[in-house]
Structure formats: structure tokens, C-alpha cells
Amino acid sequence: MPDFGTVASAILSGLLLGGMMGLIALGLSIVLGVMRLVNLAHGVFLVMGAYAGLYFLKLTGFDPLLALPLLALGIAALALPLYRYLLAPLAQRGPEAQLMTMFAVAIILQNLFVFVFSADTRSIERSYATLPLSLGAITVPLIYVIGFAIAVALILAIHGLIAHTGFGRDLRASAADPAAAATLGVNVQRVQMLTFALGTACAGVGGVLIGVAFQFSPSSGGAYLLNSLAIVVLGGLGNVPGTLAGGMILGLLQSLGGLTLGDGYRDIVGMALFLLVLVFRPEGFLAARRA
Amino acid sequence: MRKLHKSLQAGVLFAAGALGLTQGAAKADEIVIGASLPLSGPLAGFGSFQQWGYKHAVDEVNKAGGIAIGGKKEMVKLIIRDDQTNPNLTASNTQTLLSRDHVVAMLGSCTPALVNAGALVAERAKKPIVTGCDPLQVFTSVRKWKYAWDIFFSVPDLTVAPFKMLAAAGVTTNKKLAIWHDNGPDGQANGKKLWPAFAKKFGYTVVQNAEFPINNAQFTSIISEAKAKGADVVLVDAVTPPAVAIRKQMASEGYKPKVLDIEKGAEPVQFAQALGKLADGVLVGGYWDPTFPYPGAAKLAKDFEAETKLTSSQHIADSYAAAQILLDAIAAAGSTDADKINAAIAKTNKTYVVGPIKFAADHTATLPIVSEQWQGGKTVIVWPKKAATGKLLFPMP
């Protein structure tokens, strides 16, 4: 039986890590909500963010966490032509065409990463990324606390953007009924393009955090994509605070799963939860409000 | 909502998809050999070195004019396919190389799961395959091989090395041992059987024995338990991505054992590059070093580093030697007939860059083991004393 310190540390670590996962999943959630698109390149965009952070550090010597807005803008800018030239022309051909397009983009980008960066495992080396933060018997990685704080701040900012701005109103209208929104003068295509860029930026920022906290390689994105899908289902589609809560619940359950069944069984807990919610509460376990 | 669920289901299905690569066919007047290698996925760190070793051996033969087949010199063509660290792809790549590319013989992939998957296909097709990167006892446990040949280390030699090294160094620990191993064939052999047996023999108490999937990324529970139990010595069997994760998460959990030995995953230089100073002090078993007294050892590393501008790895040596053994056998057979090549491989008796190679009846040739430690971004040999190139860093920083 693990002692109090081990259990408490696992619970807190799970909640903090879940917050970071919530930010990553939020990008997937808003794109799914507005464009009806499961962005299969979301995990690859996360890896792109991690490489962007790594090379930003190598080339400038500055901490990539201090340059998160810049990196987010850069990654969002890369998403704009993808939407304009690949997704927008397929908008009237059903969700499958866009889904398959993004699947192809994911494969191309993953292979491009192998070609350009090699398939080696990388990590963004920062001294604070390997420091423990101890409070009595409880120890959590300092980077989890930093990552959680950044994730919560960004999630609240996106919540504010969606709930209290004109763009947010257009986004909510486009998500609820794109045809009706268009008849009321909303430029739905522009909203979709900016939403796609925002979702990509969430993945990119999450990638920088993951790159600092953990390790990554061109093929690392798949696991984060699947986790994000589980969080979206758990938190409710388009529910911004719900996505944060969903991430934290998944992180907590994965930690408890790791503690009781072993670290190798963390993902099973997440996927089991994903299936249970899909079967018994398909609108999302925490779905109270929609964007 | 129904549309969304349809999208979600399709998304999950597509997320599980895979990519296959294809390459061109061979010319009639060339000797075609093939290999399926992990050029992407968790074992890419090994595959890139193997690819260089195989190509380097083939390039040398071609520069010397090729190999005489039936009295006529022919160039050697090497076709390499990426198995993405997936044994199913290794098997299908091998099948493709044999049936579509018409290779006359194969070179192996890396780690038992991949090597054995390819070797079984080659064995069924009665085509010879020479490999390294597959611990001998795991290789021989699969079946009695007729066409597959393995040059690598003996599993007991590797697993006993940390215990022998610590005994020889005369360092003091509390003799509490934590064992963390993946659920691959060699991970289970080391972690479940051999390390616990040697721990008992050398007077250690195993306070934790944890198993995890090969691609696991989160180790906080395992690390917390070992920390709570106060293990001074940690032995790990994992591939490179989890090995990096383990070392990073140990530091961020505030766990500092005196000895950390990570087999497999701590071998490639990308381990040290990803970790920086955190790699210092990590031990790993080795079977080759450029300082070994075999012909061409120092030159091989020099050639690699001059050509790639990267630090060399021991995987260039067993792959280079495996390719040389196969090419020598084709030359000795003077034929591309599979059985004649296979018979020539069996007669191998020569000193290669990894040492003297003469296959035993079970188709294996054993490479000696040393203990290496990462120090300042490079590995130094710390055991045995006669091969040492540096002093043991103890306790781990």
C-alpha cells in the first residue's frame, strides 16, 4: 500500500498534468465544435510546437516559455494557408473529406519532421524542468505547476474571448448553426479559419510545454491526440471550462490508475473512460454549456 | 450531434492507420540484399546507426569492384525499408523484400521483437539473414534456426555486468535494488528472471520490480514507489524515449539513487543529447567501442563521425560486421543461391571489427560485454579494468 505522500503526490501531479492536457484538448474541441472536424493533425501540430520551442531555444538562447505568444502566433500563421488551400475548398463535401485531408497532412508533416529533424527523441532542456517542488511529504515536478498555470491562464483567456467578444459571438453562432449565422451576416469561413488557427495554436503551445516537461519525437503526437479526444468527450464539445475540468479528471484518473495498476495502465483508464462516456452520456460528462 | 459522433468514430479509426513505403526494383546484373530497419518510431535511434553500418559495408565492397558471381563481378544493391519500430511491418517489409524486390539475403532489424519477426519470414522463405541487435538467448529461444544468424551479446553477460562492475569498484550502497523493465521479450528476460537472480547472488534485496509497456511515457508512480522504498540502485530495461522520460522524471520527482543503469535506451547518443547534464552518471552495457583492439575499430568510428558529423554508436559496429559477414559469404559462395550463401555463413571464421566471429551450432556468435557510463556527453568504459577508458562516477550526480 503506497504511503500518504506517494498517493497525494500522484493525485496532485495528475491534476496538474491534466490541466496541460486540457489546453491541448481545447484546440481540438473548438475546431470540432465550429468546423465539425476531428483534426487528425492536432497531435502533429503539438509536435510542431515542441520543435518550434526547441529550435527557438537553440537559435536565440531565450527560454521558449517566455516566447509562448510569439510561438503561438507563428504556429497559428502556418495553419491559415492549410485552411485556405486545403480545408476551405472541401467545406461543402462533408466532414469526411476534410478529415481525410488532415489525416494526409498529419502523415506528410510527421515524415517531414523525420526528414528534417531525424526520428531522434528530443527534449527542451531547461533546469527548472527537472526540479521537484516539495511541500512536506508531497512532491510534484515544478514544471507541472508552471505548465498548469500557463494552461489555466490560456484557457481562461480563450473562455473570455469566446464568451465576451464579437469574434466569440460569431464563433458560437457558427458552431450552433452555420447556415443561420451566415444569413445573419457572420462570415462563417473567416470564423472557421481563425478557429482553426486558434486550435492549432493551442496544440503548439501545449507542444512547447510537453517538450519542456517530457520528451518528444516526430511520432509522439498520436498519444496526445487520443488523450485529447477522450478529454473532449469527457468535458463536452465546445465547453471551455469543461475541457479544463475534463483534462484534470482524466489526469487524476490516469494517475490513480498508474498508482493502483502500474504506470503502464494509465492510458487504459483514459480510453475506458472515453468509451463509457460515449456509451452512457454521449453529449459529454460535463456538458452543461456550449460555446 | 450524430454527424459529430460519426466524425469522432472515423477520427479514431484513422488515427490508428499506418504508412507503408515502397522502393524501386533491382537490375538483373546486381546482387540485391535487403533490410527492414526502424528508421522511425521509438527505435529510430538504433536504426539510423544500423543503416549507416549496412550501407558502409556495401559501399566498401562496391568501391572494390563488387563481388564475383559465376566469375563475373557484380555490384551489390542494398534495399532498406522502414519498419517504424513495428514488428508487423518488419514481417511485411521482409516479405516484400523477398517476393517483390527478389533479395538474395537479408540483414536484420534491431531488438528481438523486430529481428525475430523478420527472421521468421526469411526462415520460412529459406533465405539467409545475418543480424546483430538481438540478444543471443532471446534469439535462440524462438526456434532452431537454419537460415538466421546472430552476432550479439549473451543476455547473462549483460545482466550480470552492473553487479560485477559495482563489486569490482568497491563502492558502498544500501544494496536495495529497484528493477524497471518494459514488457518486450528482452525486457522481460532481464527484468523478471535474470536481474532478480543475480541480485540474490550478489546480496541485493529487490525492493521493487515494475513492468511497463514498451512505449510508456509516464513513470511517476514507479519512481515514487522506488523513492519511498529507498532503493540506492536502479536497473532499467527500456528503449530510448522511455529511458529519457525516466531520467527526466526521476529528477523532477527528486529521486537520486546512487546507481542508475539503463539498458538499451541509454545506448544511442540521442539519449545524452536529449538529457544534457542529466545523462551524466547513467550506466549502460556495451559490446563495442572504437578503442577495442580489433582491425578497423577506430577507423570505423572515425569514418562515421567524418561522414555524418555525429558521435558514433556501438550499433554501427555490429551492423557493419553483420553486413561484412553476409557479403563475405556471398563472395565465398560465388553464387546468389540461398543455400550456398547459408553454407558459407556457417563457415565464417574471421576477425571483424567486433572481434573474432565463428558461429556456434545454434547460429550465434558472442560479443564481449563492458560497462559504460555517460560522462560529459560521451561514454567511457568503466568495467572491466583491462578495457577501462575512464573512472566510475559514483554516486550518480
Q: What is the pLDDT of residues B82-104, one digit of tens each?
A: 998 899 999 999 999 999 999 99
What would the pLDDT profile of B102-111 be if each residue is shown by its tens digit? Answer: 999 999 999 8
Cell of B75: 555490384
Grid cell at residue B374: 555517460
DSSP-derived pairing of the beta strands B364-367 and B355-358: unpaired
Do A118 and B48 form a contact (C-beta atoms < 8 A)? yes
H or E element in which residue B211 lies? strand B205-212
Sorting pLDDT into bands at 50, 70 and 90, what band is B28?
low
Q: Which of B3, B19, B270 sits opposite A36 (nearest CB)?
A: B3
pLDDT at B45: 77
Q: In A, residues 240-259, which contact B (CB 8 Å cutoff)?
A: 254-255, 258-259
3-state SS, chain A, equals: CCCHHHHHHHHHHHHHHHHHHHHHHHHHHHHHHHHCCCCCCHHHHHHHHHHHHHHHHHHHCCCHHHHHHHHHHHHHHHHHHHHHHHHHHHHHHCHHHHHHHHHHHHHHHHHHHHHHHCCCCECCCCHHHHCEEEECCEEEEHHHHHHHHHHHHHHHHHHHHHHHCHHHHHHHHHHHCHHHHHHCCCCHHHHHHHHHHHHHHHHHHHHHHHHHHCCECCCCHHHHHHHHHHHHHHHCCCCHHHHHHHHHHHHHHHHHHHHHHCHHHHHHHHHHHHHHHHHHCCCCCCCCCCC
Q: pLDDT per residue over B275-316, tens digit each?
A: 999 999 999 999 999 989 899 999 999 999 999 887 788 999
Cell of B213: 509497456
| Alpha-carbon distances of B330 from A138, B242, B345, rounded to whole Å | 63, 39, 8
Residue-range domains of chain B with CATH:
20-154+293-367 (3.40.50.2300), 156-286+370-387 (3.40.50.2300)
Task: Kindly report the number of other CB atoms within 10 A of residue B362's CB atom.
Answer: 13
Q: What pLDDT was estimated at residue A286?
A: 63
Q: Does the CB of B213 have a partner CB in chain A at under 8 Å?
A: yes
Share of chain B above pLDDT 70, in %: 93
> Is residue A109 within 8 angstroms of chain B, CB to CB?
no
pLDDT of residue A236: 83
Which of B202, B220, B214, B218 is closest to B240 using CA atoms?
A: B214
Residue of A nearest to B2 (CA): A282
pLDDT of B81 higher than 90: yes
Q: Is the pLDDT of residue B10 over 70?
A: no
Identify all chain A residues contacting B271, using CB atoms and an 8 Å cutoff. Answer: 121
User: Is residue B7 predicted with pLDDT exceeding 70?
Assistant: no
What are the respective helix, strand and coil percentages of chain B, to the nearest 5? 45, 20, 35
How many Å apart are CA A230 and CA B231, to the nearest integer? 36
Please indicate if any CB of chain A lies within 8 Å of the CB of B168. Answer: no
C-alpha cell belonging to residue B257: 539513487
State the Cα torsion B348-B349-B354-B360 to the nearest 10°. Answer: 70
Q: What is the pLDDT along chain A (291 residues), one digit of tens a residue?
A: 678 888 899 899 999 999 999 999 999 999 998 888 899 999 999 999 999 999 999 999 999 999 999 999 999 999 999 999 999 898 888 778 999 999 999 999 998 998 898 878 899 999 999 899 998 888 899 999 999 999 999 999 999 999 999 999 999 998 888 889 999 899 999 999 999 999 999 999 999 999 999 999 898 999 899 899 989 988 887 788 899 999 999 999 888 888 888 887 887 877 787 788 888 877 766 655 444
With CB atoms and an 8 Å threshold, state whether A214 touches B245.
yes
Q: Is B229 on the interface with A (CB under 8 A)?
A: no
Q: What is the pTM of this model?
A: 0.79
Q: Which residues contact B152 (CB under 8 A, 6 or more apart)?
A: B131, B132, B133, B134, B135, B136, B139, B287, B318, B364, B366, B367
Q: In what order do the strands lie in the sheet with B233-238?
A: B205-212, B176-182, B233-238, B259-264, B283-286, B370-375, B378-383
- Chain B partners of A118 at a C-beta cutoff of 8 Å? 44, 48
CA distance B319 to B56: 9
pLDDT at residue A276, as a whole number? 83
pLDDT given at position A219: 86
Give the H or E element holding residue B165. Answer: helix B155-169
Query: CA nearest A204: which of A224, A189, A188?
Result: A224
3-state SS class at B355: strand
Query: What percentage of chain B reaches a pLDDT higher than 90?
Result: 77
Which residue in the block uniquely carries the three cell numbers 483514459?
A270
- Partner residue facing A264 (CB), from B3, B45, B213: B213
Per-residue pLDDT averaged across B255-265, rounded? 95
| Alpha carbon of B224: minimum distance to chain A alpha carbons (Å) | 6
C-beta atoms of A103 and B17 within 8 A: yes
Q: Which of residues 264-293 of B touch A (CB under 8 A)?
A: 268, 270-271, 273-276, 278
**For residue B22, pLDDT beyond 50:** no
Going from the C-alpha of A212 to that of each of A119, B15, B87, B273, the distances in angstroms are 18, 25, 31, 14
**Residue among A6, A118, A264 minimizing CB distance to B224:** A6
State the DSSP code for B42.
T
Residue A238 · residue A84 · CB < 8 Å: no
Q: Residue B80 has which C-alpha cell?
A: 532498406
Task: Give the pLDDT score at B12.
Answer: 43
DSSP B194: I
Confidence of residue B247 (pLDDT cuts 50, 70, 90): very high
- What's chain B's average pLDDT? 90
The complex's ipTM? 0.80
B253 to A141: CB separation less than 8 angstroms, yes or no: yes
Of B88, B87, B106, whose CA–CA distance to B97 is shortest?
B106
A275 near A234, Cβ under 8 Å?
A: no
Distances (CA, A) of A176 to A94, B282, B366: 17, 55, 67
pLDDT tens-digit map of B165-221:
999 999 999 999 999 999 988 888 899 999 999 999 999 999 999 999 888 888 988
- Cell of residue A290, nine digits: 456550449
Residue A87 contacts B where some CB pair is shorter than 8 Å: no
Do B107 and B332 form a contact (C-beta atoms < 8 A)? Answer: no
Collect all residues with Cβ–Cβ distance below 8 Å to A185 and sequence separation of at least 6.
Answer: none
Domains and CATH numbers, chain A: 4-280 (1.10.3470)
* Residue B17: φ, ψ to 5°: -70, 170
Query: Dmax over Cα atoms in chain A, in whole Å?
Result: 62
> Does pLDDT of B25 surpass 60?
no
The backbone torsions φ and ψ at residue B268, rounded to the nearest 5 degrees and listed phi first, read -70, 155
Paired strand residues for B379: B374
pLDDT per residue as tens digits for the range B307-354: 988 778 899 999 999 999 999 999 999 999 999 999 999 999 999 999
